[in-house]
Amino acid sequence: MKLQKKLLKKFYTRDVHIVAKELLGKYLVRTTGHKYLIGKIVEVEAYDGSVDEAAHTYGGKTKRNEVMFNGGGFLYVYFTYGMHFCSNVVVGKLNEGKAVLLRAVEPLSGIGQMVVNRFGKKDISALELKNLTNGPAKICQAFGIARGDNGKDLTGKEIFILDSPKLSENKIVASTRIGIKKSVDLPWRYYIKNNSFLSRK
Partner DNA sequence: CCACGGATTGGCT
Partner DNA sequence: GCCAATCCGTGGA
Which residues form the interface with DNA (CB under 7 A)?
A: 45, 47, 54-57, 59, 62-65, 68, 76, 78-84, 86, 88, 99, 101, 118, 131, 135-138, 177-181, 199
CB nearer to DNA: pick between 148 and 165: 148
Give the C-alpha separation, 113 to 65, whole Å: 30
User: Are the beta carbons of 54 and 47 closer than 8 angstroms?
Assistant: yes
Residue 107: HSE in the Cβ half-sphere, 13 Å Cα cutoff: 23
Of how many residues is the chain composed?
A: 201
In angstroms, the Cα distances linking 6 to 28, 108, 156, 157, 163 are 10, 17, 9, 10, 6
Other CB atoms within a 10 A radius of the CB of residue 109 amount to 15
CB nearer to DNA: pick between 54 and 114: 54
Q: How far apart are CB 25 and DNA at their closest, in Å? A: 20
Q: Which helix (H) or strand (E) holds 90?
A: strand 84-91
CB nearer to DNA: pick between 74 and 76: 76
Give the C-alpha separation, 191 to 185, whole Å: 17
Angle between helix axes 111-119 and 136-143 (nearest 10 degrees) is 110
Q: How far apart are CB 165 and DNA at their closest, in Å? A: 26
Q: How far apart are CB 191 and DNA at their closest, in Å? A: 13
Q: How far apart are CB 1 and DNA at their closest, in Å? A: 25
CB nearer to DNA: pick between 59 and 169: 59
Give the C-alpha separation, 40 to 27, whole Å: 5
Q: How far apart are CB 140 and DNA at their closest, in Å? A: 8
Q: How far apart are CB 119 and DNA at their closest, in Å? A: 8
CB nearer to DNA: pick between 26 and 56: 56
CB nearer to DNA: pick between 34 and 81: 81
